[in-house]
Structure formats: structure tokens, C-alpha cells
Amino acid sequence: MSFALATLFGVLLFLGQPVRYVEVAFFDVKMLLIALAGVNMLVFEYVTRRGMGRWDHEPMPPVQVRIAGGLSLAFWLSVLICGRLIGFV
């Protein structure tokens, strides 16, 4: 739900000045990072999450889960940084 709401408001913001945003390289990078974050989410939901029942019985989450979490943090932090830099270019 949050992803859909953020997408809706992002599209509305983009529609205000689409030509200006398309010309900025940080905008392109931000869109690529959002797409990669979406792919990471889908891989987690449909592949990695299958073994979730065993996670509670292990002292640490499996490597795949930690990688998915780390990638998610890296992608979204990078999206945030690119979003801030769009206004300065």
C-alpha cells in the first residue's frame, strides 16, 4: 500500500514539470533504482520467503534474507539521495 501511495504522489509530482525531470541524470538513476528495488522485493516475496518457517528456529536469518535486506536498504537510501540531488541540478 505504501509503495502504491508513494508511486501515486511521485507521478503527480512528475507531471508538474516532466521535461525538467527527464533532463536530469539523477532522475534517471532514481527511476532505475526504484525498478531494482521492485525486482528485489519480488524476488524476496516469491523466492526467498518460501523458507520463512525455518527462520525462527535459527540464530541468524539466512544469507539470502540478509542480502535482500541489505540491497533493499541500499536501493532506498540511494533513491532518497538521488531525489534530494534532483533539486540541486
Per-domain residue ranges for the chain? 23-86
**What digits encode the pLDDT tens for the residues 19-50?**
988 899 999 999 999 999 999 999 999 988 88
- Its pTM surpasses 0.85: no
Neighbours of 81 (CB within 10 A): 13
pLDDT at 37: 94
pLDDT at 30: 95
Nearest to 44 by CA among 52, 54, 35: 52
All 3 cell numbers of residue 65? Answer: 534474507
pLDDT at 72: 96
Helix (H, G, I), strand (E, B) or coil at 57: coil
CB under 8 A, 24+ apart: contacts of 2-10: 3/38, 3/41
pLDDT at 11: 92
